[in-house]
């Protein structure tokens, strides 16, 4: 595996004050991406959607990630399951989109049908086929877990861990910041096929150094002067005091707060200063330089107020495009002959609101996949 030549020391980025970023080739190489697909994405719990999308029997969603389509469906027995969205006959995709499906899913190609527990229901002309065994032709399942109101999948058939094992303490912290995590309703979704490596997008989330220069409206409410970013095991929390602002978050009372959670490897939950509101960024990496993203906005009420509608428009037209153009520009710059290959991580000694120590933590975790020990194992 060529990515095995991308070695990094064990202590890469461990001392944030002296740290430089991951080298540019980690963001542009397809070999590195393929390695991360196998070693990170196919072996980690990945957050796919909010549970409200699959709350009732027969509700399903599909998600595109890596080169896979994944089907998450709630059965008639109320159990949530996840499968590769691929027909065991000749490999056609079984179902598109999301919504409510019938009690069986029919493959569009030759009409093999499957129950929602993944077992085969029927295959046309199978009674005339020598030794055809319905039991052998079920869908390929993967692990699925509901956690803090969200649905996570894990493609590793050997996985013995839970989401809580991967992200210890996250659920309690998220529920503390937003007790309504289980009661959220999807109010808006912005889908982008972003021309940026998944780590570039995480990097952008892991610091509020850019908030002042690049998000003037956001910074008018969330105070970078009273802001901190704390690292936990495989997740982090950015907290900022907020004051009501006409150009971004407006709320009753003197102050509120923003809590932004990053979850390994590439999901973010934001409890905004507006009560009962949460935004979620789902990254679905597709290749080295393309990441499909869902930016979901949730409220607890179904009928939106005019203020909530206006806020969604602000997210769609102002705040979201600001971040998208940042990461797209960075992705191009990483190819420049004039870029020196690594950038200084601007972590200060106090971990202030503008400190970039969150990037150092993220890069130290990625680096653990690129140590000689780890790469030596993957070569065998």
Binding site for Fe ion (CB under 5 A): 323
Residue from 35, 60, 112, 269 binding ligand FES (CB under 6 A): 112
Least distance CB 211 / Fe ion (angstroms): 6
Nearer to ligand FES, 112 or 239 (CB): 112
110 interacts with, out of Fe ion, ligand FES, none, CB within 5 to 8 A per kind: ligand FES
Q: Within the chain, what is the greatest distance between any pair of CA atoms?
A: 75
| Residue with smaller CB distance to ligand FES, 78 or 125 | 125
Closest approach, Cβ 55 to ligand FES, in A, equals 28
Name every residue whose Cβ is closer than 8 Å to that of residue 166 and which is 6 or more positions away in sequence: 44, 45, 234, 264
Q: Least distance (Å) from ligand FES to the CB of residue 303?
A: 42
Residue 143 CB, nearest distance to ligand FES (Å)?
24
Shortest reach from residue 90's CB to ligand FES, in Å: 4
Shortest Å, Cβ 92 to ligand FES:
4
CB-nearer residue toward ligand FES: 89 or 171: 89
- Minimum separation from the CB atom of position 166 to ligand FES (A): 34
Q: Which of ligand FES, Fe ion, none is residue 92 near (CB under 5 to 8 Å by kind)? A: ligand FES
Tell me the per-residue interface mask from 180 to 199 with ligand FES, x by CB under 6 A, - otherwise. Answer: --------------------
Q: Which is nearer to Fe ion, 327 or 334 (CB)?
A: 327
- How long a stretch of residues is the chain? 380
CB of 309 to ligand FES, least distance (A): 42
Residue with tokens 């998208």: 324
Q: Does 120 bind ligand FES (CB under 6 A)?
A: no
Residue number with CB closer to ligand FES (135 or 303): 135
Residue whose pair of structure tokens reads 């679905």 in the numeric block: 284
Q: Which of Fe ion, ligand FES, none does 323 bind, CB closer than 5 to 8 A by kind? A: Fe ion
**Are β-strands 185-194 and 150-154 bridged in parallel, bridged antiparallel, or unpaired?**
unpaired
Q: Is 110 in the site for ligand FES (CB under 6 A)?
A: yes
Strand partners, 307: none
Nearer to ligand FES, 137 or 245 (CB): 137
Choose between 205 and 370: whose C-beta lies nearer to Fe ion: 205
Helix (H), strand (E), coil (C) string for the chain: CHHHHCCCCCCCCCCHHHCECCCCHHHHCHHHHHHHHHHHHCCCCEEEEEHHHHCCCCEEEEEEECCEEEEEEECCCCCEEEEECECCCCCCECCCCEEECCCEEECCCCCCEEECCCCEEECCCHHHCCCCCHHHHCCCEEEEEEECCEEEEECCCCCCCCHHHHCCCHHHHHHHHCCCHHHCEEEEEEEEEECCCHHHHHHHHCCCCCHHHHCHHHHHHEEEEEEEEEECCCEEEEEEEECCCCCCCCCCCCCEEEEEEEECCCEEEEECCCCCCEEEEEEEEEECCEEEEEEEEEECCCCCCHHHHHHHHHHHHHHHHHHHHHHHHHHHHCCCCCCCCCCECCCCCCCCCCCCHHHHHHHHHHHCCCCHHHHHHHHC
Closer by beta carbon to ligand FES, 121 or else 250: 121
> Minimal CB distance to Fe ion: which residue?
323
- Least distance from C-beta 66 to ligand FES, angstroms? 21
In the window 267-296, what residues touch ligand FES (CB under 6 A)? none
Q: Does 132 bind ligand FES (CB under 6 A)?
A: no
Window 65-94: residues binding ligand FES (CB under 6 A): 87, 89-90, 92
**Contact present, 280 and 267 (Cβ < 8 Å):** yes
CB atoms within 10 A of CB 151: 24
User: Which of ligand FES, Fe ion, none does residue 2 bind to, with CB < 5 to 8 Å depending on kind?
Assistant: none
Residues that bind ligand FES (CB under 6 A): 87, 89-90, 92, 107, 109-110, 112
């Amino acid at each position: 595996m060529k990515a095995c030549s991308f070695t990094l020391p064990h202590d890469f980025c461990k001392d944030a004050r002296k740290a430089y970023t991951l080298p540019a080739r980690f963001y542009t190489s397809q070999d590195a991406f393929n390695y991360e697909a196998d070693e990170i994405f196919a072996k980690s719990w990945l957050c796919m959607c909010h549970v409200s999308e699959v709350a009732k029997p027969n509700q399903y969603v599909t998600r595109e990630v890596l080169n896979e389509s994944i089907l998450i469906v709630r059965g008639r027995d109320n159990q949530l399951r996840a499968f590769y969205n691929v027909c065991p006959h000749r490999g056609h995709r079984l179902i598109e989109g999301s919504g409510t499906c019938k009690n069986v899913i029919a493959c569009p190609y030759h009409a093999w049908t499957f129950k929602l527990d993944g077992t085969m229901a029927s295959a046309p002309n199978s009674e005339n086929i020598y030794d055809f065994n319905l039991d052998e032709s079920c869908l390929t399942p993967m692990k699925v877990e509901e956690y803090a109101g969200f649905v996570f999948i894990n493609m590793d058939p050997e996985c013995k861990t839970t989401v809580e094992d991967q992200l210890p303490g996250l659920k309690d912290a998220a529920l503390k910041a937003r007790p309504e995590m289980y009661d959220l309703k999807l109010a808006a979704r912005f889908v982008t096929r972003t021309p940026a490596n998944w780590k570039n997008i995480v990097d952008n989330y892991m610091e509020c150094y850019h908030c002042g220069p690049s998000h003037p409206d956001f910074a008018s409410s969330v105070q970078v002067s009273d802001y901190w970013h704390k690292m936990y095991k495989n997740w982090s929390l950015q907290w900022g005091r907020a004051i009501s602002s006409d150009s971004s978050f407006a709320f009753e009372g003197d102050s509120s707060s923003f809590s932004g959670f990053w979850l390994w490897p590439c999901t973010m939950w934001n409890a905004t200063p507006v009560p009962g509101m949460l935004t979620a960024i789902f990254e679905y990496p597709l290749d080295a330089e393309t990441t499909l993203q869902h930016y979901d906005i949730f409220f607890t009420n179904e009928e939106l107020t005019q203020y909530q509608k206006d806020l969604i428009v602000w997210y769609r037209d102002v705040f979201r495009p600001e971040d998208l153009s940042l990461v797209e520009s960075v992705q191009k710059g990483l190819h420049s002959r004039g870029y020196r290959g690594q950038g200084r991580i601007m972590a200060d000694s106090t971990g202030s609101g503008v400190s970039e120590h969150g990037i150092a933590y993220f890069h130290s975790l990625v680096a653990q996949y690129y140590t000689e020990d780890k790469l030596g194992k993957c070569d065998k």
